[in-house]
Amino acid sequence: MSNDSKTDYAIETTNITKIYGSDNTEVVAMRDACMQVKKGEVVALLGPSGSGKSTFLTAVGLINPPTSGQVIIGGKLALDGPVAKTNLRSFRRKHIGFVFQKSNLIPFLSAVENIQVAMELSGESSREARRRSLELMDYLGVADRADNLPMALSGGQQQRIAVARALANHPSVILADEPTAALDGVSGRQVMELFSKVAHEQDAGVIVVTHDHRALDVFDTIYEMEDGLMHRKSDHELSTN
Amino acid sequence: MILSIKDIRHNITHFVITTIGIGMLLMVVLGMGGIYRGIVEDATLLIDSVGADLWIVQKNTRGPFAEISRVPSNLVHRALAVPGVKFAREFVFHTIQREQNGKPLRISIMGLSWPTDKGEWIPLTSGRPLKQSHFEMIADKTLKLSIGERVKLGKETYTVVGITESMINSTGDGIGFFTIADAQSIQFDTPSEAVRLERAAREARGEKSEIGIKQPSLLENAIKPAAELPQIARPQISAVMITMMPGRNADKIAKIISGWDDVSVYTKLGQRELMLKGNVEKVRKQIGLFRVLLTIIAAVIMALIIYTMTLDKIHSIAILKLIGAPNTVILGLILQQSLILGAMGFMIAYAVGQKIFPNFPRRVILKDTDLYQLAMIVLAISICASLMGIWKALKVSPNEALS
Ligand SMILES: Nc1ncnc2c1ncn2[C@@H]1O[C@H](COP(=O)(O)OP(=O)(O)O)[C@@H](O)[C@H]1O
Ligand SMILES: [Mg+2]
């Protein structure tokens, strides 16, 4: 693996550490986390609540810069410690798709518009964006709810729309933080499989934070966090679980 | 996809009610300007429509509009003798408050110099000018009198023969046009008992005076009606109006008349100045200050509305930032809503104002320039109002989408 050139990695973090607060209120949420995700690789991130999974994911997602360490996306250094090395927002728009535990849809936009808006922000024409959004919705089995507001959708349906939005701009990185918490087992697995499929088809690197041990077979690699420390689980560890 | 409109549509009832509120507020701002215009127009309306080039008034007064002025009626003849003067007319003007059909009736009475002036210059909406030297009147619409209606003023009854529009004095009372003689008899109307007492008093004074004792026949004259006594002055008039021959310089003629020691003279422009600087100035400032206050209040309220609308959207804004929306998109979202709010408010202000202002007791004049001015003010308010919301929105961290 050490022979792989840098650009084969969709995501690379080197010793990222996040310290919240200062002095006596200091919390080290994540210490020296290192992860390398190849293009087309699907990674699961496990760990108990409060172990720093979200902190790691938001650092990789360029929305919560680390205190130190580097975040490299698609071979490009994006964050050097807290310092932005690129326009983070436009970088996110072009390269990163997010899905979070709560669906995070915009309440005043209909389901299809929630997907469409992400495409339009990337310069897609309104017509084409709508066409592709409906296509994605169809693919995720929620096409019939296109014109409903998020409020009128079930948790699972909302989550699928969020997934569709994350995939809208063919991202090279997909980050999902407990995306299946609102879904039942079957549809949870469906979503995981979709991520895997997209990763392989689009050569994207995917990190999914999950508690759901039933769907772990979908993943290529598994990492675990505990008290802010991250380590990669060997296949042996997995089989004993 | 226009996010601002999508958001408004989502909260349409809330937005409509807010817009109506803003509209009403802006309507008051608009109305204040209109009231000011109305007061200025009303104040100078009579001066303009009478069309006199020069006004001769009592010495050292600013009459006849700004204060009371008394000049003898024979001043007309002296004025006519000045070179360059085409006409000189008596001006009699005073306001009375009587009752008609049990309701108060305020009339600003203006005398017309019968027979030279029958009121042909007065723009009538219906009826005709005066046709006889007594007992006819032309009434302004605001007096709510109709043609043929009879009004008792003093001892006489006058018939309305013509109706005018927008002929009001500087305090908004409708003008009634009468012949000078009628105007004066309304002004100087004295009850019979008062006349009898005055005649008796004259006789008593005469009996005591030396001349009365030496010439008893004088006493017989003293008890005659005042009008038959050459010694007793005619009722005075308010001012004399001069119309110049064409091509003459008003200032030159004014200079000649200002040499007379018993009167003062003003040009038409001077009269306008007196009205605007004197009577209207304080009202103008008052209304102006209220207008400024209201504009500030409107701005503050709009800012608060836009700010709360932004607060309601913080989560959505965080999501937009999370998925990489540039600041221009977020700034546009808030600014557009502010502008839509302002524009709709302005339209409501204009539409409702046009409907209700004509029913106000005094004129509210909406000029195009005032509308443009208000539009500019609303534009400025909308932009300022959005600043606080924009500031808040730009500070939102995409992290907040996750909480
Ligand atoms: N904004 C913050 N300020 C201070 N401490 C935080 C903040 N966010 C998270 N933490 C702390 O960092 C640690 C890791 O949190 P988090 O990454 O959310 O864990 P997980 O997602 O694994 O549950 C926790 O102890 C949490 O209390
Ligand atoms: Mg978490």
A64 closest CB neighbour out of B10, B313, B399: B399
Contact B150, B162 (CB under 8 A): no
CB contact under 8 A, A92 and B324: yes
Closest residue by CA, ligand 1 atom 20 = A50
This model of the complex carries an ipTM of 0.90
Domain count, chain A: 1
Which residues in A lie closer than 8 A to residue B399 (C-beta atoms)?
58, 63-64
Q: How far apart are CA A43 and CA A221, in angstroms?
A: 5
Contact A185, A216 (CB under 8 A): no
Q: How far apart are CA B291 and CA B370, in angstroms?
A: 12
Q: Compute the distance from residue B153 Cα to the ligand 1 centre, in Å.
A: 91
SS3 sequence, B115-171?
CCCCCCCCCEEEECCCCCCCCEEEEEHHHCCCCCCEEEECCEEEEEEEEECCCECCC
- The reply to whether omega before B358 is within 30° of 0 (cis) is no
Q: What is the model's pLDDT at position B236?
A: 84
A4 pLDDT higher than 50: no
State which ligand 1 atom lies nearest to the alpha carbon of A58: 17
Name residue B109's beta-bridge partners.
Answer: B94, B176
B399 closest CB neighbour out of A63, A109, A149: A63
Distance of CA A40 to the CA centre of its chain: 14
Q: What percent of chain A has pLDDT over 90?
A: 71
> How much of chain B is in helix, strand and coil states, percent to nearest 5?
55, 20, 25
Q: What is the model's pLDDT at position B60?
A: 92
Give the mean pLDDT of A20-35: 92
Question: Which residue shows structure tokens 């360029």?
Answer: A62
CB contact under 8 A, A98 and B323: yes
- Which band of pLDDT confidence, cut at 50, 70 and 90, is reported for residue A82? very high
A98 closest CB neighbour out of B322, B326, B329: B322
Q: Compute the distance from residue B194 Cα to the ligand 2 centre, in Å.
A: 102
- Ligand 1 pocket residue status of A33, Cβ below 6 Å: no
Question: Which CATH number goes with the domain that contains A101?
Answer: 3.40.50.300
Q: Which helix (H) or strand (E) holds B218?
A: helix B216-222
- Ligand 1 pocket residue status of A53, Cβ below 6 Å: yes
Q: Count interface pairs A-B at CB distance under 8 A.
A: 74
Q: Which is more confident, A52 or B200? A: A52
Contact A61, A97 (CB under 8 A): no
State the nearest Cα–Cα gap between A240 and chain B, in angstroms: 34
Ligand nearest to the CA of A101: 2
Q: What is the model's pLDDT at position A238?
A: 58
pLDDT digits (tens, 9 = 90+) for A153-180: 988 889 889 999 999 999 999 999 988 8
Question: Which residue shows structure tokens 């004049």?
Answer: B365
- Ligand 1 pocket residue status of A66, Cβ below 6 Å: no
Structure tokens at A217: 């077979």
The residues of A whose Cβ lies within 8 A of any Cβ of B are 54, 58, 63-64, 89-94, 96, 98, 100, 102, 104-109, 113, 116-118, 120-122, 126, 149, 165, 177
Q: How far apart are CA A143 and CA A162, in angstroms?
A: 13
Which residues in A lie closer than 8 A to residue B314 (C-beta atoms)?
none
pLDDT digits (tens, 9 = 90+) for B87-103: 898 888 888 998 888 88
Ranges of chain B whose pLDDT falls below 70:
226-227, 230-233
CB contact under 8 A, B316 and A108: yes
CB contact under 8 A, A117 and B321: no
B324 closest CB neighbour out of A93, A105, A106: A93
Contact B34, B364 (CB under 8 A): yes
Residue B49 to residues A86, A107, B101, B123, Cα–Cα distance (Å): 73, 63, 30, 9
Closest residue by CA, ligand 1 atom 21 = A54
Q: What is the model's pLDDT at position A3?
A: 44
**Which of A63, A114, A122, A177 should we substitute to test contact with B (largest number of B Cβ atoms within 10 Å)?**
A63
Ligand nearest to the CA of A45: 1
Which residues in A lie closer than 8 A to residue B398 (C-beta atoms)?
63, 89, 92
Give the mean pLDDT of A19-40: 92
In this structure, what is the dihedral angle of CA atoms A204, A210, A212, A217, given to the nearest 10 degrees?
Answer: 30
The alpha carbon dihedral of B293, B294, B299, B305 has a sign of: positive
Q: How far apart are CA A24 and CA A19, in angstroms?
A: 12
B133-157 in b/e form (b: 16+ CB < 10 A) is: eeebbbbbbbbebeeeeebebbeee
pTM of the model: 0.79
Burial class from Cβ neighbours inside 10 Å (0-12, 13-18, 19+) for residue A123 reads: exposed
Give the domain ranges of chain B. Answer: 2-43+281-402, 45-184+236-278, 189-234
Question: Which residue shows structure tokens 């798709």?
Answer: A97
Neighbours of B286 (CB within 10 A): 12
Task: Give residue A49's domain range.
Answer: 3-239
Neighbours of B205 (CB within 10 A): 12
Q: How far apart are CA B44 and CA B39, in angstroms?
A: 9
Contact B302, B385 (CB under 8 A): yes
- Ligand 1 pocket residue status of A29, Cβ below 6 Å: yes
State which ligand 1 atom lies nearest to the alpha carbon of A177: 21
A71-99 in b/e form (b: 16+ CB < 10 A) is: bbbbeeebbbeeeeeeebbebbbbbbbbb
A93 closest CB neighbour out of B323, B397, B401: B323
Of A19, A31, A54, A226, which is best to mutate to test ligand 1, by the most ligand atoms within 8 angstroms of its C-beta? A54
Contact B243, B86 (CB under 8 A): yes
Backbone phi, psi, residue A211, to 5°: -105, -10
